[in-house]
Structure 1
């Protein structure tokens, strides 16, 4: 059974419901299924073994996703912001790939594959081609290849098998649970697990998908209002820009019942301002990884409301919530074998049928018990999971392991700080010294010693930054993840020898 089953199931229940696009001109389930069957024939006739998509959000993505599934081949959405050489290198790793690219990016793919079609060409050919029968696939066949963002190493192709994706859906999403007037605004990019997960989860629940190709806070708010959007997913940088755009005013989005965020750490001040701007919206923090087929922990609307109302629970807003059904977690010591007790920080390992943990050309990284090393430092308290940052980000100062997130969570509450990242820099005496890289508020210019004193008053002295450096912005991926290695290089380049 493959992910095309999701489309078949949805079509059997509400074939004439609009599931993709604007409510006055979108695709119905029946039309999506027909285009996917015809698109499968386009791929089959050209001997494709991988379907590559390079483009922004839009109706072509679900069409190509299910066309590839019906053709029995994986889809690989790539980051359209990459250079010609970077895109070519990724396509070269995919056997007999056919590339479907938006007109704006097609030129960068010239010569990358034997067949490069623009999005419009692919959709036109699909309409003109007789539909193909679905190719039966094994549950173990690869459905999606997603390349990691490469923030700490070179991008790796994660193999998500049909069984991984279907397990995530069956355990966390209720089939056909959405009413006909529910709509989801999808603004996370196709090459992100949240973007691909949105295709499957919204169709499975019966919720119409509305796409925002190019994010802007004004455009996002207007589309929510115009289309009566009931749920949306954003990354923290998007929510921060929406909150900044509102500048203390209410959002005035009465239909928006649910707003999910994830993909990177959410600064608590941004979250608190967002909760005030969207007072009738239920907030959801969704934590997951590409290798886990999307969400593995959720902090739900009730958790947000309770934490906001009770100062004793306020710290819970910095958690990612409780583990979803079907998943198991362990917090292990650095020796990879000792399981730590609640409240102790260590390495997060996860296990469950939605976990892939497998990379193209590299095999699996699961241990003998089927556990996946997330490489995130974490702790569990009262059933809530707290993420302390990537293991590779840990600063070792005088033999003591220091998580940057611990210091960042304190500094971000300083009135003069808009954004902050904490990194380790080489030090002859301590091994590494702590450096706080600060983006100040436009109207503020705090003194470095003031910031150090703020931190010293709230954390142990060993957590006080040795250096405070001011910058205009922090290097991030399009989905909001901080690229620490770029920040370290940027800071080292301006530091005295």
Structure 2
């Protein structure tokens, strides 16, 4: 099945409902299908074999996604925050693509030899040719989207998501036309993140109007939620932390019914604060990867409330978990030898399902002989099946032959009421192999003795997991989706 089928179903099921942008003048499902057909005509007329999207999120993105599907070529959303050399190298992989970009990056695409349209020009050209079928949809096994990973620990790799991966994810997680006509979603992630693509598909399939916020600030986010009467929203943990921690904000969100978060680990302190601040909101933690077409586990609203109210430490701990697998997804936690570990034992997370791609451009499939993909995340599955993420396998600190998960120490540091953010990394050490160092971000105007923080860790964990040094920074380097850029932190801490 092609993702165009999802758009066709929407147009035929609730064609007059506005599905993109403001309710006053956004395109309906029927109009989106017409624009997608017009965009497909533009792609074929340019003899393009892909659409490269190098711009902020907005209405041009869903039109590009479905136009690419109609034309039988992939959409390639590119990180506009990359440096010039990185962009040149990436664009060299797509010499016959049609480019959609803002004026700031137009020259980069022209230097790569690509024909260029601004988002406004793209929408106007699609509208000019709208109305035809534009149809020669790609087969389900052809690429729908190619997303380059963030490259926080290595060079970006192009993840290939085929039509059947994305359709399987949507059909397995969303009820068709399940949203009411008054529902509106706010997506605050950049277009080159898998959540931006998956939210286009899931909100459309549900019949929910979707809006985007180009530049996040707590004030702008809260204002748009109130102005557009947003009912559903998706944020990354750093965004929710800023909303909850910024003094003097009007945090009233009367229309908001559900808030999903993901992309990075959520500090328990932040989600507890949010649950108390917005008791009428259903919170959902969604864990997934680009390689898995987005979400593979969910901690739902009921689990959030049950964990918050529980005195049982095991149930309470679920508030920091990634929840249970979505339908059609199987999880395994394996040790370094590949054997599946017992419940509660830590290891590396593997996943299998129709929505799982595990495929990289130019490298082929990375799934094993049983169809499981290695996420490279560390974690454990508790006795009740809840997945607990303990960080990336590459982040593991090896100190004196002991493997130490940074997340365990970070959670203790974040438990201090005046620590807003924290990271723990391993620094090369002649005696121990690696020594443990931490960086914390504190509330404005607060001073904390690093020795007191070290004592807090030592009192909770054993001495070998106590940071050798704790440094204060004004902020931590993160990607726009909230992931820590650990290599930058290590480099900074190693400078004389």
Same fold (TM over 0.5): yes
Per-residue deviation, 1:361? 0.6
Q: Partner of 2:422 in structure 1?
A: 420
Q: Which runs of 5+ in 2 are unaligned?
A: none
Per-residue deviation, 1:132? 5.0
Per-residue deviation, 1:94? 2.2
Give the 3 Å change call, closer, same or farther, for CA 485–225 of structure 1 in structure 2.
Answer: same
Q: 1:396-407 counterparts in 2 under 5 A?
A: 396-407=398-409
Q: Partner of 2:366 in structure 1?
A: 365
Q: 1:90-105 counterparts in 2 under 5 A?
A: 90-105=90-105
Q: Partner of 1:434 in structure 2?
A: 436
What is the alpha-carbon distance in structure 2 between the residues aligned to residue 400 and residue 67 of structure 1? 52
What is the alpha-carbon distance in structure 2 between the residues aligned to residue 433 and residue 311 of structure 1? 36
What are the Cα deviations for residues 78-112 of structure 1, in whole angstroms up to 9, with x where unaligned? 11122233222211112511110123332333322
What are the Cα deviations for residues 151-200 of structure 1, in whole angstroms up to 9, with x where unaligned? 11100000000010011011111111111111111111110000000100
CA contact (8 A) 1:100 1:122 kept: yes
Q: Partner of 1:488 in structure 2?
A: 490
Q: Partner of 2:234 in structure 1?
A: 233
Per-residue deviation, 1:250? 6.6
CA contact (8 A) 1:183 1:207 kept: yes
CA contact (8 A) 1:228 1:255 kept: yes
Q: Partner of 1:320 in structure 2?
A: 322
What is the alpha-carbon distance in structure 2 between the residues aligned to residue 367 and residue 95 of structure 1? 32
How many equivalent pairs are there? 492
What are the Cα deviations for residues 115-164 of structure 1, in whole angstroms up to 9, with x where unaligned? 11111111122222363531132211000000000011100000000010
Q: Partner of 2:165 in structure 1?
A: 164
Q: Partner of 2:245 in structure 1?
A: 244
Q: Partner of 2:16 in structure 1?
A: 16
What is the alpha-carbon distance in structure 1 between the residues aligned to residue 162 and residue 417 of structure 2? 46
What are the Cα deviations for residues 307-361 of structure 1, in whole angstroms up to 9, with x where unaligned? 11113232211101011110001110012x2110000000000001100000001
Q: The residue matched to 1:19 in structure 2 has which SS? A: coil
CA contact (8 A) 2:422 2:438 kept: yes
Q: Partner of 2:29 in structure 1?
A: 29
Q: Which runs of 5+ in 1 are unaligned?
A: none
Per-residue deviation, 1:281? 0.3
Q: The residue matched to 1:438 in structure 2 has which SS? A: strand
Q: 1:67-466 counterparts in 2 under 5 A?
A: 67-129=67-129, 131=132, 133-245=134-246, 251-312=251-312, 313-335=315-337, 337-381=338-382, 382-466=384-468
What are the Cα deviations for residues 250-286 of structure 1, in whole angstroms up to 9, with x where unaligned? 7221111100000001111111111122121010000
What is the alpha-carbon distance in structure 2 between the residues aligned to residue 444 and residue 151 of structure 1? 30
Q: The residue matched to 1:297 in structure 2 has which SS? A: strand
Per-residue deviation, 1:244? 2.1
Which deviates more from structure 2 when the two are superposed, residues 409-418 or residues 279-288? 409-418
What is the alpha-carbon distance in structure 2 between the residues aligned to residue 331 and residue 103 of structure 1? 46
What are the Cα deviations for residues 384-425 of structure 1, in whole angstroms up to 9, with x where unaligned? 000000000000111110000000011111133221100011
What is the alpha-carbon distance in structure 2 between the residues aligned to residue 418 and residue 244 of structure 1? 8
Q: TM-score, normalised by structure 1?
A: 0.97
Superposed CA RMSD = 1.3
CA contact (8 A) 2:34 2:133 kept: no
What is the alpha-carbon distance in structure 2 between the residues aligned to residue 290 and residue 132 of structure 1? 30
What is the alpha-carbon distance in structure 2 between the residues aligned to residue 180 and residue 67 of structure 1? 25
